[in-house]
């Protein structure tokens, strides 16, 4: 089993990835600012949680030695949160990246897994958006993801395996819940308001269940070096329209849920192909959008997500706006 450092290990995906890897026998160190709460991960004998900043090179130099794998999840997530403070976004999402990679390589980390984003493609008309298609990111958030990919792959060599994953939008329940991603937004509104506002409806949105996202990282950890070294993989479930997603939510939450349609000027449509990760790593998703909605419904029923319409901890931009991180 490996000793793994997860930056952003207390985030939406990290908070579920960490206990999963612990359950598989790995030793895990989480480095996170903990701005969304410090109780999202249960204590474990093989877990070390460090409250800290990835921009702190001195901390990284102390923390990284002894780890075989780094999974880099930490970032200012989503465009609105990033645009709230572009200088902060750049310092965390781009400027801190190369020092992290260099320190990892210098300290004998064997594998570095980078969480990029499917948003790096921008708007495409091609049917299959594969990893080879030209990147045309629309925002600084996506541009910096692209730049970090290129920085990382320059360092790839026989002793330092670098791999990039471009996830679709993650959905479903987490102990560090987000309610500002499309499936979770729709489910939250449907359950509590019994009404969903559908802006447009024909736009495509690629999604992936959080459990499958976690499994994808496991595949990248366990795959032979020859299959992942210097590689980039998309990871998604299906490319569904916003209307399809809304109807799926209605089916699971209740037929009394009303769909309220509104015209929109934002007709951005995203889609990706996940054929490569299936062909190379034999990775396939096992969970559906229905599963994600059902998991959230159960969490609401058990009161695991209190005040989910208003509490700022579920909404990145609200929390970022209030904490004034520098």
172-185 per-position pLDDT tens digit: 999 999 999 999 99
Residue 89 binned pLDDT confidence (cut-offs 50, 70, 90): confident
Give residue 317's pLDDT: 80
Q: Which residues pair with 20 in a beta bridge?
A: none
- Mean pLDDT of all residues in 79-97: 87
Angle at 178 between CA 172 and CA 181, to 5 degrees: 75
Residues 114 and 82: their CA atoms lie apart, in Å, by: 18
Tell me the H-state helices in the chain.
14-23, 57-63, 79-84, 86-90, 97-106, 140-154, 182-193, 210-222, 225-228, 242-253, 275-281, 289-301, 316-323
Are the beta carbons of 168 and 118 closer than 8 angstroms? yes
The pTM of this model reads 0.96
Give residue 170's pLDDT: 97
3-state secondary structure of 137: coil
Could you give the domains of the chain? 3-323 (3.40.50.720)
Give residue 194's pLDDT: 98
Residue 269 binned pLDDT confidence (cut-offs 50, 70, 90): confident
List of residues 6+ apart from 302 with CB closer than 8 A = none
């Amino acid at each position: 089993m490996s000793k793994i450092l997860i930056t952003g290990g207390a985030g939406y995906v990290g908070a579920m990835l960490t206990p999963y890897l612990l359950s598989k026998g790995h030793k895990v160190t989480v480095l996170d600012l903990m701005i969304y709460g410090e109780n999202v991960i249960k204590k474990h004998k093989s877990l070390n949680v460090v409250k800290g900043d990835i921009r702190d090179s001195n901390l990284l130099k102390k923390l990284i030695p002894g780890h075989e794998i780094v999974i880099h999840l930490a970032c200012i997530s989503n465009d609105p949160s990033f645009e709230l403070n572009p200088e902060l976004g750049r310092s965390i999402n781009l400027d801190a990246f190369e020092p992290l990679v260099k320190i990892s390589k210098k300290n004998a980390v064997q594998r570095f897994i980078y969480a990029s984003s499917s948003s790096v493609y921008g708007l495409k008309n091609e049917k299959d958006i594969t990893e080879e298609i030209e990147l045309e990111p629309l925002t600084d958030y996506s541009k910096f993801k692209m730049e970090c990919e290129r920085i990382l792959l320059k360092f790839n060599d026989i002793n330092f395996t670098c791999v990039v994953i471009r996830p679709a939008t993650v959905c479903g329940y987490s102990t560090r819940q987000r309610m500002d991603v499309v499936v979770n937004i729709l489910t939250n509104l449907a359950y509590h308001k019994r009404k969903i506002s559908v802006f447009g409806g024909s736009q495509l949105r690629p999604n992936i269940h959080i459990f499958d996202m976690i499994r994808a990282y496991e595949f990248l950890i366990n795959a032979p070096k020859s299959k992942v070294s210097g590689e980039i993989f998309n990871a998604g479930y299906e490319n569904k329209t916003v209307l399809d997603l809304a109807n799926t939510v209605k089916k699971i939450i209740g037929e009394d849920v009303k769909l309220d349609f509104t015209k929109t000027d934002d007709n951005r449509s995203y889609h990706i192909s996940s054929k490569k990760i299936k062909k190379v790593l034999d990775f396939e998703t096992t969970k559906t959008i229905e599963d994600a909605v059902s998991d959230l419904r159960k969490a609401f029923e058990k009161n695991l997500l209190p005040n989910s319409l208003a509490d700022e901890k579920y909404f990145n931009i609200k929390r970022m706006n209030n904490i004034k991180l520098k």
